């Protein structure tokens, strides 16, 4: 059974003559332990696809299920709980809170209402596992890009999600830091998580089990 199942996704922006359909019947399945890379030109809708699959945005049509739970057509409260339980997001720009240390950014996800009871301990273990103990009390502006992205990945994993959605996760990193992040994503898949990477970089696509291209609003083999 796929961890991610999306059927017939449609998403439009703008109105009437100015409307632009960036998703036009897109389908996507991702199995446990599988890495899928999604390629596409700038503005093709790759990030929109991730946001719709992960419940950050609602499609105009179509159905999404994650870990057997319906994402589309549910209340905001239920959607928020589902994201917290099943989805880990990793972004190009890290989105760490500047006023919190790296470790505190990770623990933030463990403190939200409804978080997994073991999340705080898992967060501490992730910081250690990712080699971040020496910089755990540093603030984001004191960290390298690679360190910031590793903290962001630790934060994404605090609630032990079934799927990790990574939007250009190496886009702001040098080659060495990018390679470290890609190795981490491979480890996550090896643990049975589904991983979806939106990327324009050949190195990121190279770690995928399948590579798809978003063209004219639909996904097709690259």
pLDDT confidence of residue 15: 78
| pLDDT, averaged across the chain | 91
**What number of other Cβ atoms are within 10 A of residue 218's Cβ?**
15
Q: In this predicted structure, what is the pLDDT of residue 43?
A: 80
pLDDT of 118: 83
Element (H, E) at 107: helix 102-111
| CATH code: domain of residue 146 | 3.40.50.300
Q: What is the DSSP string of 52-91?
A: HHTTSS--SEEEEEETTEE-TT--HHHHHHHHHHHEEEEE
Q: How many domains does the chain have?
A: 1
Helix (H), strand (E) counts: the chain: 7, 10
Please report where in the chains the tokens 């499609």 appear, as a residue.
59
Domain that holds residue 78: 4-221
pLDDT tens-digit readout, 47-81: 999 999 999 999 999 999 999 999 999 999 999 88
- Predicted pLDDT of residue 64: 96
Angstrom CA distances, 200 to 25, 87, 125, stand at: 22, 22, 31
The tokens for 37 are 């890379």
Spans of the chain below 70 pLDDT: 114
Question: What pLDDT does residue 94 have?
Answer: 87
Report the pLDDT value the prediction gives residue 186, as an integer from 0 to 100.
94
């Amino acid at each position: 059974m796929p961890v991610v199942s999306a059927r017939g996704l449609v998403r439009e922006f703008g109105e009437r003559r100015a409307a632009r359909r960036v998703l036009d019947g897109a389908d996507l399945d991702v199995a446990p332990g599988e890495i899928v890379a999604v390629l596409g030109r700038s503005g093709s809708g790759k990030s929109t696809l991730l946001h719709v699959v992960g419940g950050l945005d609602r499609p105009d049509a179509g159905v999404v299920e994650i870990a057997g739970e319906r994402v589309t057509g549910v209340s905001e409260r239920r959607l928020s709980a589902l994201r917290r339980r099943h989805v880990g997001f990793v972004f190009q720009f890290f989105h760490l809170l500047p006023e919190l240390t790296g470790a505190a950014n990770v623990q933030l996800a463990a403190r939200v209402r409804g978080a997994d009871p073991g999340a705080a301990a898992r967060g501490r273990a992730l910081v250690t596992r990712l080699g971040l103990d020496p910089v755990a009390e540093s603030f984001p502006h004191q960290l390298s890009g690679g360190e910031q992205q590793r903290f962001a990945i630790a934060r994404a994993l605090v609630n032990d999600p079934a799927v990790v959605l990574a939007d250009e996760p190496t886009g702001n990193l040098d080659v060495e830091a990018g390679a470290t992040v890609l190795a981490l994503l491979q480890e996550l898949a090896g643990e049975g998580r589904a991983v979806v990477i939106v990327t324009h970089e050949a190195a990121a696509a190279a770690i995928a089990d399948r590579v798809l291209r978003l063209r004219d609003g639909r996904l097709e083999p690259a």
